[in-house]
Chains A and B, each alone.
Chain A
Amino acid sequence: MAATGPALELTGVRAAYGRIEVLHGVDLTVPPASVVALLGPNGAGKTTTLMVASGQMPATAGCVHVAGRHVNGVRPDQLARLGLCTIPEGRGIFPSLTVRENLRMITFGGPSLRQVEERAFTQFPRLKERIGQVAGTLSGGEQQMLAMARALGSDPAILLLDELSMGLAPLIVEELYGLVADIARQGVSILVVEQFARAVLGVADVAVIMQHGRATATGSPAELESELSAAYLGAST
């Protein structure tokens, strides 16, 4: 597996909301079977980068490659069926469907319902107790577990995670990142967007700092620790 190209690669990606450009040429590489943490302050363009990578937003310039393939303009549902699993910011679940129906939605990616349920319930026995419950009435942690069940069940090649820790108790965050590490060990390439940097640095192989719509620094988590505070406190780079 020596010469394998990156699982996900963004080169010179620009993106805009209407007339306002928020990404000014982002270069980002996720090597196969590794965890990349995308860090940075509010409004740096982390989530937008993820939206472009998952096909939800078109890039106005630049290229997006998945496993060496040029995928600009491929719809998000096509990318999802290809093996690119995205867990969006703020609970990637359908609140008015039951837990079982939420799990059933995962089967659009390819796996059978039996496989999805088996994996989800092995990892999160609590979901099994709540199988008939409407997902919107679950606790925040349970909702995030349900969202993560998709990362487990759909057997992805690439996993994009946005703000996994948002609004959750530190213990649950720790548990979820333990799970991310487990998934990474199975050979899945993972891109994690986080504002809450400490939570993810222990898991990540590579950290990338984003500021003002650009990736400004790349390195091992240890190398970047010092730069992080500067980025968050608004020191110029």
Chain B
Amino acid sequence: METFFQFFIVFALQAAGIYAVAASGLVVTYATSGVFNFAHGAIGMFCAFSYWELSQNRGWPSWIALVVVLFVEAPLIGLVLDRVIMRRLADASTITTIVVTIGLLVAFVQLAGMIWPQGSTTRVLPEFFVGDTVKVFGINVSYHAVIVLITAILVAVVLRVLLYETRLGVAMRAVVDNRELGALNGVHPDRISSVSWMLGSMLAALAGVLIAPILPQFTPVALTLLVISAYAAAMVGRLRSLPLTFLGAVILGEFESLLNWIDTKGIGGHTVADVANDLQTSAPVILLFVVLILLPQDRVAGRSSRRYNAPTPSLRTMAMAMVAYVAGAYVIAQSGWVSKTTVDQLGVGIALGIVMLSLVLLTGYGGQVSLAQPGFAGIGALVVWKMGPVGGLVAGVVICAAVGVLVALPALKMRDLYLALSTMAFALFLETNIYGENALFKQFLPFSVGNASVRRIPGLEGDTAFFMVMAVAFALIVLLLTVIRNGSFGRRLQAMRDSPSACVTLGLDLTATKLQAFGLAAAIAGLGGALLAMWKETSVGVADFSLLKGPLPGLPLVLVAVVFGITTAFGAVIGGPVFVLLPLIGTWYPALENIMNLAPGLAGIGLGQNPDGAVGQVAESFARDEPSADHPPPPPRVPVVPERVGAAGRPTAEEIRELDDVLGLSWGRCETKAAPR
């Protein structure tokens, strides 16, 4: 009975409290700004590390450090984010907001890694009042757990009062309904958005500081991924309802404790306990996936918020471009102008470029967001390692296509944000519970720890030969995509992206189109992963295909792909090599190393300015027209607001003008009407 209480009340509620705090921050920002902040956990992580720096490293008293982090740093981060980034996203498409906040996540993780390098030292953040306990029903409960619970309840009460009882809170909710109408009521929408981001950051920081001491590892990635728990809890509340969000946090806490209990007690034998232990880390991912599937979805979209066009280059043009590409690859591989390490990296770049091409099909043409493409690449690599080069390549592509279709099934009715979340959950599940190190799939072992050796295709084992194989594969896929784009499947994809509801009324089968797109994209990504594994030959493993860990993580890969443009294949031609060269440039010029690590994240954030990608923007800049000369330039903007105007019978225009005369002001009226009448 004691252990039961320990697990299902103390542990579970402590975890639930933290998830609730984190998730409520997520809900507040989403509900008031319409931006789902993927970087929520990263902000919390950054603040937790700042707290560690101040309280442990610099020896400040804990409470001062806490006040500085929660009430100075966190609101400041929120304010800056709002001013610099989020405000511009008010009318952006969902895809853009997803990419921008993922860019922010990546940038924060890299920044934390730079300021607090990992590996050399192990950091520990102690609990509040460590060692102090209070007896409840004969059980020792740590002060930390008590503090967490009280905090969660306080947050719930404060948010409720703020959002429903204060005018500011009502305005925050009103602006979500209708931003323009809020302004017509006299609400400054920018101020509302600042407040909500400051509040969201503070809640993220609070969650980060509370959870850091009870985590097994205090590392940026571990803390950032904890936000998945917050996503899951927030999803239970459909990103709107705070009470349901708190319920979601409790469900998650109990679920984790159940798995922990099975593991600790060894219920169901050794294997079951081990599996439970593995599942514990991915409990939030599982809950997120389940909730997303069960959740009633919005109806079919009327039309996408922002229409953009994927260009339709002719097959001839693309064929010539690809001949040039393959020839260029041959020169690089053969001539010896480029060092061996650079060629090695460029080979990785071509393989990852193929993974990027899968996004061109799925997201660029079809408008479906997927963060699972690096995961599919991992499956391709796994199969090719298990089944040998030729058979594995074919089997890998087929298996990936099948898994892609399977993943798409629950995603059929999902749209942008939910799709991004569920594919991210899937990729994380893959890397922790399938081909990562785990108890259930012991047969993947050398791969799971990044130590597998993969053979290349017989007869094409040489470095140059295989480099060319990859370049030709890349070129062929580009041509395939061009054919698709110009054909009927491409038109169906475009139609699905532009207006799902119009497609339905035309009798177009959205289900089949979506499944085909997902399957084909997964197959392309799988091929890319398999080629990457063969190119590397040794020490292939989970680290090559992880979303956030490893030297070339998956989320930055997706960012770079989107930044270089996913509406044409040309983005991947440039994006692949650039992605692998960034860290390489860092090793050549150590002064640039930090910038290079930050680059993908910053580029993703920059997408807020330019949602069509870099290649698109260059093209756009040629098309932009000059301000026409026959119109007079726009009149001057008035920075100062005049005083309140009265209706007739009250202080009027006449009086204001008299006042201007008295004060000698002449700026009140513009030139053309200044003449007396």
Beyond A69-B668, A101-B170, whether A80 also contacts B184 by CB under 8 A is: yes
**A114 on the B face (CB < 8 A):** no
Residue of B nearest to A55 (CB): B183
Smallest CB separation, A88 vs chain B (Å)? 6
B645 touches A83 (CB 8 A): yes
- Known A-B contacts A61-B631, A186-B647; A74 and B670 likewise in contact (beta carbons under 8 Å): no
Bound CA span A86–B178, Å: 14
A38-86: which have CB < 8 Å to B?
54-56, 58-63, 65-78, 80-86
Known: A94-B178, A155-B647. 10 other contacts (CB 8 A): A1-B652, A14-B631, A67-B656, A74-B641, A80-B186, A93-B181, A105-B187, A150-B185, A157-B647, A188-B647
Question: What 0/1 readout, one digit per residue, does chain B (618-661) give for beta carbons within 8 Å of chain A?
Answer: 00000001000001111111110111111111101110110000
Q: For B189, list chain A residues within 8 Å (CB).
A: 77
* Binary B-proximity of A1-37 (CB < 8 A = 1, otherwise 0): 1011111010110100001000000000000110000
Overall SS of chain B's interface: loop
Report whether A5 and B653 are in contact in the complex, using a CB–CB cutoff of 8 Å: yes
Tell me whether A59 and B187 are in contact in the complex, defined as CB-CB below 8 angstroms, given that A68-B669, A96-B173, A157-B646 are known contacts.
no
Contact of A80 among B170, B183, B634 (CB under 8 A): B183
A70-B645 contact, Cβ under 8 Å, with A62-B635, A95-B177: no
Given known A68-B656, A88-B181, contact A187–B187 (CB-CB < 8 A): no
Whether A189 lies near B647 (C-beta < 8 A) is yes
How many angstroms from the CA of A32 to the CA of B649 in the assembled complex?
9
B174 touches A94 (CB 8 A): yes
User: Cα distance A67–B648 when bound, in Å?
Assistant: 10
With contacts A82-B645, A105-B171 taken as known, whether A72 is within 8 angstroms of B636 at the C-beta atoms is yes
Kindly identify which residue among B184, B188, B637, B646 contacts A83, using a CB–CB cutoff of 8 Å.
B646
A107: interface (CB < 8 Å): yes
Is B180 part of the contact surface with A, judged by Cβ < 8 Å?
yes
Query: Taking A4-B652, A97-B177, A101-B170 as contacts, is the C-beta distance between A67 and B645 under 8 angstroms?
Result: yes
Bound Cα distance A101, B183 (Å): 16
Give chain B interface residues in 536-589, CB to chain A under 8 Å.
none
Q: Give bound CA distance, A86 to B186, whole Å.
A: 10
Check A105 against B170 for contact (C-beta < 8 Å).
yes
Chain A residues with a Cβ under 8 A of chain B: 1, 3-7, 9, 11-12, 14, 19, 32-33, 54-56, 58-63, 65-78, 80-88, 92-97, 101-102, 104-110, 150, 154-158, 186-189
Q: How far apart sit A33 and B650, CA to CA, in the bound complex (Å)?
A: 11
Task: Let me know if B184 and A76 touch, CB within 8 A.
Answer: yes
B residues 148-191 touching A (CB-CB < 8 Å) = 167, 170-171, 173-174, 176-178, 180-189
A68, B173: Cβ atoms closer than 8 Å: no
A92 B181 Cβ-Cβ under 8 A: yes
**A72 near B638: Cβ-Cβ < 8 Å:** yes
Give the shortest distance, in Å, between A100 (CB) and chain B (any CB): 9
Interface assignment of B672: CB less than 8 Å from any CB of chain A: yes
* Interface residues of B, count at CB 8 A: 49
- Report the bound CA distance from A67 to B641 in whole Å: 13
Most buried by A among B178, B652, B669: B652
Contacts of B173 in A (CB 8 A): 94, 96-97, 101
User: Which residues does chain B contribute within 8 Å of A110, judged by CB atoms?
Assistant: 186, 644
Is B316's CB within 8 Å of the partner chain A?
A: no
Give the chain B neighbours of A94 by CB distance below 8 A. Answer: 173-174, 177-178, 181-182
Return the contact of A84 from the options B645, B650, B652 (Cβ within 8 A).
B645
CB distance from B386 to the nearest CB of A (A): 52
In B177-217, which residues have CB < 8 Å from any A CB?
177-178, 180-189
Task: Return the chain A residue nearest B667 by Cβ.
Answer: A70
B186→A108 contact, CB < 8 A? yes
A131 to chain B, nearest CB (A): 14
A7 touches B641 (CB 8 A): no
| A105 with B672, Cβ < 8 A, contacts A56-B180, A78-B641, A84-B645 known | no
Question: B661 to chain A: closest CB distance in Å?
Answer: 12
Chain A nearest CB, measured from B17 CB (Å):
28
Bound-state CA distance A77–B636 (Å) is 19
- 19 A-B contact pairs sorted by A residue (CB < 8 Å): A7-B653, A11-B672, A32-B647, A58-B634, A60-B631, A61-B635, A63-B673, A68-B653, A69-B653, A70-B667, A72-B636, A73-B638, A77-B188, A80-B184, A80-B185, A102-B174, A108-B185, A154-B186, A157-B645
Q: Which of B647, B657, B669 counts the most A-chain CB atoms under 10 A from its CB? A: B647
- Are B645 and A77 closer than 8 Å at their CB atoms? no
- Residues in A neighbouring B645, C-beta threshold 8 A: 7, 66-67, 69, 82-84, 157-158
The verdict on A104 contacting B634 (CB below 8 Å), with A65-B669, A83-B645 known, is no
The CA-CA distance from A87 to B180 in the complex, in Å, is 11
Given contacts A77-B183, A88-B181, A97-B173, contact A187 B649 (CB under 8 A): yes
Distance in angstroms from A207 CB to nearest chain B CB is 20
Find out whether the CB atom of B633 lies under 8 angstroms from the CB atom of A61.
yes
With the chains together, A106 CA to B167 CA distance in Å? 10
- Give 3 nearest A-B pairs by CB, closest first: A73-B637, A68-B653, A108-B186
Whether A104 lies near B636 (C-beta < 8 A) is no
The listed residue (B171, B632, B668) touching A70 by CB distance below 8 A is: B668
- Complexed CA–CA distance, A158 and B645 (Å): 9
User: Which of A12, A92, A97 is close to B184, meaning CB atoms less than 8 Å apart?
Assistant: A92
Question: Is B654 a contact of A5 with CB atoms below 8 Å?
Answer: yes
Find A32's partner among B185, B652, B669 (CB 8 Å cutoff): B652
Chain A residues with CB below 8 A from B184, complex form: 54, 56, 76-77, 80, 85-88, 92
Cα–Cα distance between A93 and B194 once the two chains are bound (Å): 23
Q: From known contacts A32-B652, A70-B670, A105-B182, infer whether A82 and B644 are also in contact, taking CB-CB under 8 Å.
A: yes
Are A105 and B649 touching (Cβ within 8 A)? Answer: no
Nearest A-chain residue to B637, judged by Cβ: A73
With contacts A12-B672, A70-B670 taken as known, whether A63 is within 8 angstroms of B635 at the C-beta atoms is yes
CB <8 Å contact, A76 and B668: no
A68 touches B183 (CB 8 A): no
Query: Using Cβ atoms and an 8 Å threshold, which residues of chain A touch B639?
Result: 73
